[in-house]
Amino acid sequence: MNKTLLLIAALALAGINPLPAETAPATNKTYDIAAFVWPSYHPDDRAKIFWPDGIGEWQTVMSSKPRFAGHDQPRVPLWGCVDESDPRVMEMQIAAAADHGVNVFIYDWYWYDRLPFLEACLNNGFLKATNSSRMKFYLMWANHDVGLNWDKRNADAALTKKNKALIWKGSVDRAEFEKIAHRWIEKYFPQPTYYKINGKPVFMLYDLNKFIEGLGGIDQARDALAWFRAEVKKAGFPGVELQLSLRKDSKQSLSGVAGDNLGTQKDAVEKLGFDSLTHYQFCHFVDVNRDYNAIMKDVVRDWNAIATNYTAKYYPHVSVGWDNSPRSYDYKGAIMKNNTPANFEAALRQAKAFVDAHPGPAPLITINSWNEWTETSYLEPDTKYRYGYLEAVRNVFGPRP
């Protein structure tokens, strides 16, 4: 019997059901509840540069400690440190997600130094799970630079900018973009579980700046996206739903360099013709170093402003929490307070109301995240709230069939 099955058996003997029974009735209207997946919790040879123990970022989670009196760390998975590239583990996770109303996983997808990175969670875990038909998935190209923030041995210096070492660049040129775009089109878009809007595969871009930088400018980026759309149609799809993970709105040029003429985020979004928008994390657009309920007031304000000011459709985003202190030894950044399952549930009800008031091509809500343990923003059960965050989703949206 492998470690995963032993863990599940041990939980059962302890009176903990890893897959609790559905108890809430389904709502009449269905919503697409999409949780981001940080696919680092499995063995990966390339990842040993950050996590030399060979178990992915579980190495960091296991070393987490409280920094000060009242600091709510460590946060420990109820399921233990399971291998998320194991299809049997993913079957357990898919069942728990679907039973509680989560029906889409958005996989952070990486490509560095001309090679994919951390694909096994999706390729070997999700896509080989026997119950994957209960879920949809889509890709978010996490095209950001990588320094030493993931390496706990060096993270304090990296987070304080004392060590600006660059391990991998997130930007790519046109030739490399075409290479990896064909990987998306050929390997993932045809999957029967790939999430689509009006028949179009949904594809999210994480870092707009790095995308434009790699292509050589905004006009070149626009040409690359026009090529991408055409290639998706060649593959037999009616098109692609291009989605962007937004940052905080600003009147400054995206590049921050006078004379580059990139324009603001809104200018670039309009010029590049994105079809839809969402966010990846509350910390990208509001101050998260405060009470969750105060944060939500600003979040809802920004949802409405984006829906009013942008041509592209905005799908509301809800984050579970934020505290990235597990990734370092001494650095203290922002820490979200009072993000209890009850307050998270209230936030989901606000997102549901927003979707109802802004109908569009899909009833989509994005959540950060399924498993961001080192940023303390996760739906997965933990030893503090157990299934509390998942139960919050089910209370609002009901279980999936």
Residues 6+ apart with CB under 8 A from 367: 33, 34, 35, 36, 102, 317, 318, 319, 320, 379, 393
Bond into 328 cis (ω within 30): no
Cβ atoms of residues 89 and 125 within 8 Å? yes
Give φ, ψ of 287 to 5 degrees: -70, 120
Q: Which ranges constitute the DSSP H helices of 115-261? A: 120, 155-159, 174-183, 208-215, 218-234
Indicate if the alpha-carbon torsion angle 397, 353, 106, 17 is positive or negative.
Answer: negative
Residues 6+ apart with CB under 8 A from 298: 286, 287
pLDDT digits (tens, 9 = 90+) for 33-73: 999 999 999 999 999 999 999 999 999 999 999 999 999 99
Give the pLDDT score at 22.
41
**Amino acid identity for residue 250 in this structure:** S
Give the pLDDT score at 261.
72
Q: Distance (Å, rounded) from C-alpha 102 to C-alpha 365?
A: 10
pLDDT digits (tens, 9 = 90+) for 198-221: 999 999 999 999 999 999 999 999
Q: Distance (Å, rounded) from C-alpha 313 to C-alpha 271?
A: 15
Quote the Cα angle for 94-100-103, to 5°: 55
Does the structure show a pLDDT above 50 at 23? no
Judged on CB neighbours under 10 Å (0-12, 13-18, 19+), 16 is: middle
Give the pLDDT score at 21.
41
Residues 6+ apart with CB under 8 A from 236: none
pLDDT digits (tens, 9 = 90+) for 114-129: 999 999 999 999 999 9
DSSP string across 183-201: HIIIIITTSTTB-EETTEE
Cβ atoms of residues 101 and 132 within 8 Å? no
When pLDDT is cut at 50, 70 and 90, the band that residue 29 belongs to is: confident
Domain boundaries, the chain: 3-249+262-397
pTM assigned to the model = 0.93
pLDDT digits (tens, 9 = 90+) for 77-130: 999 999 999 999 999 999 999 999 999 999 999 999 999 999 999 999 999 999
pLDDT digits (tens, 9 = 90+) for 274-331: 999 999 999 999 999 999 999 999 999 999 999 999 999 999 999 999 999 999 999 9
Strands (E), 230-340: 241-245, 276-278, 313-314, 317-319
Indicate if the alpha-carbon torsion angle 355, 104, 238, 118 is positive or negative.
Answer: positive
Cross-strand bridge partners of residue 37: 107
Q: Distance (Å, rounded) from C-alpha 26 to C-alpha 7?
A: 30
Tally of residues, the chain:
401
Q: Distance (Å, rounded) from C-alpha 204 to C-alpha 241?
A: 8
Q: Which fold has domain 3-249+262-397?
A: TIM Barrel (3.20.20)
